[in-house]
Amino acid sequence: MGKFKILIILAVSIAVILAVCLTVVVVFSSLAGRQKSNAFNDSDLIPTRVEVTLESNAFWTLLKATNELYWPESSGRKLDDLSDDTNWDDSLAADVLEKNHDCLNLFDEAMRQPFLLVPEPKTFADEYSYLGGWKAVSRVESIRVFASFRGKNEKEAFDSAFKIIEFGQRVENSGGLIIHYVVGSAIKAVGLRRIQQMIPQTTLPETDLVELIHRLNDFKANKEGITNALKMEYQMDRELLDNYAAGRISTTNSDSDQKVTSFGLKMLFNATKTKREFAQADRVLRDNISKPFSEIPWTDLPVIETNTPIWRRLIGGNAIGDIIFALMEPSLKGFASRKSRENVDIAATQLLLALKIYKIHHGKLPESLSELVPECFSQVPADDFDGKPFRYSPEKQLIYSVGSDLKDSGGEARRGNLESYDLPFKIEF
């Protein structure tokens, strides 16, 4: 994500600067001096980082776990199948778990430590290869989930799935950038999927199923993690824009910077104005993150007229900055959509558990999700995309969310180039 931002800036700079002839520079250079913006207060976008001891920080234990990880690329497809409970092979599963014995022990140790705090990011060019290792560890834990479930140790299997979910939640709030939150969210989704897969065959008593529903309430979208990730990302954006305004941009992990052309830069790029735009956008998402996707006031984002003639952009004094913002801003909506998808996955898993309980009692599925109230819920869980009650089709044996397009397509899943689609969850019992 960081290198992509750097490439965007460089590409935009070259394209715009080449389009500006010397005459335009002379004509508008005087205008540029009048476009300087005053400093602004962005102290509310400083991330919160706590100081923790090495002994209490799971980061270092997780690094050791990834060093002990056995996940050979040559067997990647087979191992992926095992972690998804497809093409199950008892012998292969036992072998993988045995070879990952030390890795899993270290993972268990890390989950007992009170904190997970990653080193503070310095630049977008930093490498976060450990995130890939952490995703692989969650896949190994998935194999342990299904090995336990198939071995009739159901409670142990569900606890193992919750461990994956908790791990993802901790990665989300580990003090890193948006990429850390995104990876944490993906790990949480793995654990939730494991629970969904076990629900049809589980023989756990009703009391245990109800407990699982309540436990899931603790793992809805992580507001603290989202807020800190946004703040950390803003600080990286801020530094990147300042460096660019000074004619330098860091492209490596070292302290050295590569110089970029500053020809006409003062006329075409206003770092303070661009930072204001990024700050305003981050605040819109931060201050409304608890709302459903449809209720986030996207109209409060800075308005960048990308179709404005080039000469008008030049008069504004921030042609490059506006283009950079216009290219990067859509990622915020994607981030908000991911947050809603997290809540949808949680609600769907809770609903599947509640429907399982209902069927145990009545021998059939309900006609409406309202029949699960008040035994399992105080009200029907909401779809975090549009804020309305989760959809249900007893005929199709589906519960579903309308997804980010906010259109009810009757539970139709995404396929091919389908423009309108939902997020369905099959009821397989």
pLDDT tens profile 316-359: 668 888 888 887 766 888 999 999 999 999 999 999 999 999 99
Starting at the edge strand found earlier in the chain, the sheet holding 398-401 runs 391-393, 398-401, 423-426
Write out the two tokens for 263: 């020809």
Q: What is the pLDDT at residue 246?
A: 81
Return the half-sphere exposure (C-beta side, CA atoms, 13 A cut-off) of residue 27: 9
List, for residues 168-199, the tens digit of each pLDDT value.
999 999 999 999 999 999 999 999 999 999 99
Higher pLDDT, 183 or 24: 183
Rounded distance, CA 143 to CA 94, Å? Answer: 9
Note whether 326 and 303 are within 8 A (CB): no
In a domain, 158, yes or no: no
Burial class (CB in 10 A: 0-12, 13-18, 19+), 330: exposed
pTM above 0.85, yes or no: yes
Amino acid at 283: R
- Cα 383 to Cα 293, 345, 391: the distances in Å are 9, 10, 8
Q: How confident is the model at residue 304 (pLDDT cuts 50, 70, 90)?
A: low
221-233 average pLDDT score: 93
Q: How confident is the model at residue 29 (pLDDT cuts 50, 70, 90)?
A: very low
Where in the sequence is the domain holding 23, given as residue range(s)? 2-48+259-334
Rounded distance, CA 172 to CA 235, Å? Answer: 18
Report whether pLDDT(40) > 90: no
In a domain, 281, yes or no: yes
Amino acid at 295: E
Higher pLDDT, 324 or 135: 135
Q: What is the pLDDT at residue 166?
A: 98
Report CA torsion sign: 273, 253, 168, 83.
positive
Q: What is the pLDDT at residue 303?
A: 76
In a domain, 32, yes or no: yes
In a domain, 322, yes or no: yes
Stretch among 11-20, 150-159, 251-260 having the lowest mean pLDDT: 251-260
296-320 average pLDDT score: 72
Amino acid at 148: S
Report whether pLDDT(160) > 60: yes
Count of structural domains within the chain: 1
What letters, b where the CB count within 10 A reaches 16 and e where it falls short, cover 8-18?
Answer: ebbebbeebbe
Radius of gyration for the alpha carbons in the chain, expressed in angstroms and rounded: 25
In a domain, 91, yes or no: no
Percent of the chain with pLDDT over 70: 82
In a domain, 57, yes or no: no
Rounded distance, CA 1 to CA 178, Å? Answer: 9
Q: How confident is the model at residue 5 (pLDDT cuts 50, 70, 90)?
A: low
Residue 252's CB is within 10 A of a number of other CB atoms, namely: 11
In a domain, 83, yes or no: no
How would you classify residue 363: left for phi > 0, otherwise alpha for psi between -120 and 50, otherwise beta?
left
Percent of the chain with pLDDT over 90: 68
Higher pLDDT, 391 or 121: 391
Note whether 237 and 1 are within 8 A (CB): no
Note whether 171 and 134 are within 8 A (CB): yes
Q: Nearest CA to 400 among 351, 357, 339, 366?
A: 351
In a domain, 283, yes or no: yes
Interior angle at CA 35, CA 34 and CA 39, nearest 5: 115
